[in-house]
Amino acid sequence: MEKKWEAMTEQHDTLGLLYPHLSLTSAQDQNAASRNTGLLEGILAKAKASEKVQQTFFAENSHALLTMSSALAKVFAAGDKLLCMGNGGSSCDANHLAVEFNHPVTTGRPALPAINLSADTAMLTAIGNDVGFEQVFIRPLISLARKGDALFGISSSGNSKNMSKAFAQAKEMGVNTFALLGGDGGNIARSGDVDHCLIVKSDSVHRIQECHVLSYHILWELVHSQLTGKPNA
């Protein structure tokens, strides 16, 4: 019986090494529970912070967002297209925005021409390798854009050099320019090369990006409403 007990104890110790969470002491249980409480409080705090940033942004920019939607609707109404750009997470947002217009999820809304300049990795890496990363949006812009088209840039800082150069090039080409930015808007907001610019005034990249997503979802709906003349189209 004693040997059997020793074997069971040894097995328990071995399992404890492999699966330490199975052998937590009461104190460790309490510490884990305390940590979880802090993490849960953090979740709610971040959700409230995101909501506050969004409420402030839309209270300050609702009219500007409506004006932006009208300008973009005119681009599509004229048969022209939308070009999108962004870096990193904002590149994903640029792709998301393009897909929203290309593949409308609501029945009865037409597909509209939109291209994400960030999507072609072969082109981006070729340009970045051959002439520099600051040129990655200019080259495809020159080949794809025509006067009357729209260039829409998304940046959480507003200081992306490759986007600044693309906006400047777009203005020379007669392309309409739009931007969703963060912080204080950075160099892009101060450049004078953006026709319609909305800035999420926050120091948190995550809160800025969350507000950007809601903004272009609303923009998408507003554009379709402008095109059809129906408020809830």
pLDDT of residue 113: 97
pLDDT of residue 224: 95
pLDDT of residue 15: 46
pLDDT of residue 5: 42
User: Which backbone phi and psi does 232 adopt, to 5 degrees?
Assistant: -110, 30
Question: Taking a C-beta distance cutoff of 8 angstroms, is the pair 112, 101 a contact?
Answer: yes
pLDDT of residue 72: 98
Q: In whole angstroms, what is the distance from residue 43 CA to residue 38 CA?
A: 9
Per-residue pLDDT of the chain (233 residues; tens, 9 = 90+): 555 445 544 555 554 555 555 555 566 666 777 778 888 999 999 999 999 999 999 999 999 999 999 999 999 999 999 999 999 999 999 999 999 999 987 767 899 999 999 899 999 999 999 999 999 999 999 999 999 999 999 999 999 999 999 999 999 999 999 999 999 999 999 999 999 999 999 999 999 999 999 999 999 999 999 998 877 65
Q: Which residues, 6+ apart, have CB-to-CB distance to 93 below 8 Å?
A: 86, 154, 180, 209, 212, 213, 216
pLDDT of residue 17: 54
Q: In whole angstroms, what is the distance from residue 178 CA to residue 94 CA?
A: 12
Classify residue 150 as exposed, middle or buried by CB count within 10 Å of its CB (0-12, 13-18, 19+): buried
pLDDT of residue 37: 85
Q: Where are the domains of the chain?
A: 49-228
Query: Which helix (H) or strand (E) is 184 found in, with range?
Result: none
CATH code of domain 49-228: 3.40.50.10490
pLDDT of residue 33: 75
CA 53 to chain centre: 15
